[in-house]
Chain A
Amino acid sequence: MKNMRSVFVAAMLLALLSSCSSLGVKPWDRDILARKSMQLNTEPNLTAFHEHIYFSKEGSSGGRTYDGGGCGCN
């Protein structure tokens, strides 16, 4: 739990840092970010297959999305 808390605090600090004004781009500089390949989930079906396999075969779940699974495989 203690470890988890420190990771969370570190992560939140990083998030705060990330909102510094030096980060980010102007609206007209989004050409690269707009590419299909730059989206966070380019192929949702492949992501879902991965999550289903790992959820069924490993002790962890969640992270990218919620930790539930909806199947009796774990």
Chain B
Amino acid sequence: MQLKNKKIRRSLGLITANLFLATHGYADTLDGAADAPTTSAANTSGDQAFNALGTASIDSAVLFYKEASGRVRAIEPVSQVSVTGDNGNVFTAKFTYDSLTGASPNGAAPWTSVQTFTTPAKAVSTPGSTMTVTGASGGRTIVTLPGTTTQVAQYQTQPNQLPVDSGFIDKRYAFDLGYSAKLSDETTTSFGFAASTEHDYRSWSANTAISRNFDQNNTTVELGLNVEYDQSLPIFGTPTPLTQMNGSTKGPNRYKTVTSVNLGVTQVMTRRWLFQMNYNIGWNNGYQTDPYKIVSVVNPTTGAPQQYLYEARPDHRVRQSVYIANKVALGPTVADISFRYYHDSWGIKSITSDMSERVPLSQSWYIQPELHYYQQSAADFFHYYLLGGDPLPQYASADGRLGKFRARTWGLRVGYELSRHTDIYMMAEDYKQMADSQPQNAPGALQNENFFSGVHAKSFVLGFKYTFQLSDYSEW
């Protein structure tokens, strides 16, 4: 009798679990548990799904990122622990470490002769010595200004080269916590908290969302809110916008807040097609200028630099985007096609498109070629340079990230299922920004200079995921 009961219990358990997963497992992916594998019906080679209830997973990866021409290099290890209870509630904790070195464009226009840039000297140093400071500057020479005892730091850019601020070193630590709980069979709520700290920047954010399933879980609607508080702590203080670059220590730290709302709909279209659409809007208020970036004021006839001014950006920015994603199963392969339209109150409009196709090669291996395309217009206040003699605009930035450009990524993911519980994944990518780098009507010799400050980066990721059961399924 005991045995018989156990058999019945096991069968009932399996049936119940499968029914539950068939109807609810998919919805889990919409409320923050997207990383957790879900149900168990499929048997495509290398792509079996399994029950996430009562499991935990550890997903760790490291990113190696390198830009051409000695620009930024980064190593970013990340580790995420995710625990899914028997009731479908999910807890996640994630730790990210980011180590950056290299050089970053300072915003100044290139010129036909050597250009010298002056910044504050962080600490008292012997004249002629070099120092490396953390944050977005360093690798410079300490000099004493003629006729004074004032020490400043200086760095130079060779003729016809894009001015870059080199010796950039920083470390960032970030921590994310998330919890999602089922309020009923149809309704799920989630909460999250994130903190990030680096030498000259700190950020805290909190988010919450509620989602509800309709139509036999074919439709899920989610509404989310995120609030963020960011502190900017530039290593030499915060410069006054549109004042001349100099060696004096600058003003106090500044901050900004970001409030974002996301409305999302996920729809099962057919047995092979999953569709998602998000609309998000974010209000950014406070200091959004890059304290390390400058803009050249040039002679309106010859194009020669006359002075370098600290850039200025508006304190208010509203960002909006519509995002559409599709997952389509074509035989054993899965296509992932997404599109985003973005617009903000600074005048930037962009379109982004991502496509990838996951192709299983065997029971254990899959490959996934991917393609990313991006295109943006310039911010209203973007200028490669300002003309001497013209009245100063209210805002001005020569940061290439606010200019007009397009970009593409091509890459390849490879995944290997080492065992039912262990997955290894790799990704190699090539990201390249492109633009017409000659500003129209540039004065004098500036017409022959290349203003393009975009990046060409290669990255490689190695990741490892281990999933194990928390509960004792042998009872079934």
Contacts and interface: CB of A to CB of B under 8 A. Distances in A.
Contact of B19 (A19, A27, A40, A66): A27
A57 B282 contact: no
A3, A4, A35, most chain B CB atoms within 10 A: A35
Interface string B17-43: 001011101100110001101111110
Interface string A32-58: 111111111111111011101110011
Interface in B195-242: 196, 198, 200-201, 203, 205, 207, 214-219, 224, 226, 228, 230, 232
Contacts of A23: 218, 267-270
A4 to B, nearest CB: 5
A24 B268 contact: yes
Contacts of B341: 4, 7
B49 interface: yes
Interface residues of A, number: 59
Contacts of A65: 262, 278, 280
B428 to A, nearest CB: 11
B250 interface: no
Given A34-B40, A59-B402, A71 B218 contact: no
Contacts of A28: 22
Given A49-B461, A57-B433, A63 B271 contact: no
B321 A67 contact: yes
Interface residues of B, number: 111
A34 B22 contact: yes
B97 interface: no
Given A23-B270, A49-B459, A67-B282, A60 B321 contact: yes
A43 to B, nearest CB: 6
Given A33-B268, A40-B29, A53-B431, A66 B226 contact: yes
A14 B98 CA distance: 40
A27 B262 contact: no
B40 A39 contact: no
B196 to A, nearest CB: 4
A72 B198 contact: yes
A57 B334 contact: no
A17 B325 CA distance: 16
Contacts of B172: 71
A11 B22 contact: no
B42 A66 contact: no
B374 A54 contact: yes
A18 B226 CA distance: 27
Contacts of A46: 61, 413, 425, 427, 461, 463
B457 interface: yes
Interface in A8-34: 8, 11-12, 14-15, 18-19, 21, 23-34
Given A37-B358, A45-B80, A62 B455 contact: no
A60 to B, nearest CB: 4
A41 to B, nearest CB: 4
Nearest to A34: B39
Contacts of B435: none
A21 B207 CA distance: 33
B214 to A, nearest CB: 7
Contacts of B325: 40, 64
B266 interface: yes
Given A19-B267, A33-B26, A35-B49, A70 B279 contact: no
Contacts of B402: 59
A29 B322 CA distance: 30
A15 B265 contact: yes
A42 to B, nearest CB: 8
A73 B30 CA distance: 29
B387 interface: no
Interface of A: 1, 3-4, 7-8, 11-12, 14-15, 18-19, 21, 23-46, 48-50, 52-54, 57-72, 74
Given A40-B29, A45-B463, A63-B322, 18 more contacts: A15-B265, A15-B267, A18-B269, A21-B215, A25-B270, A27-B19, A27-B23, A27-B216, A27-B217, A32-B42, A35-B48, A36-B37, A37-B327, A38-B274, A54-B374, A59-B348, A60-B321, A68-B230
5 contacts: A4-B322, A4-B343, A31-B271, A37-B366, A39-B34
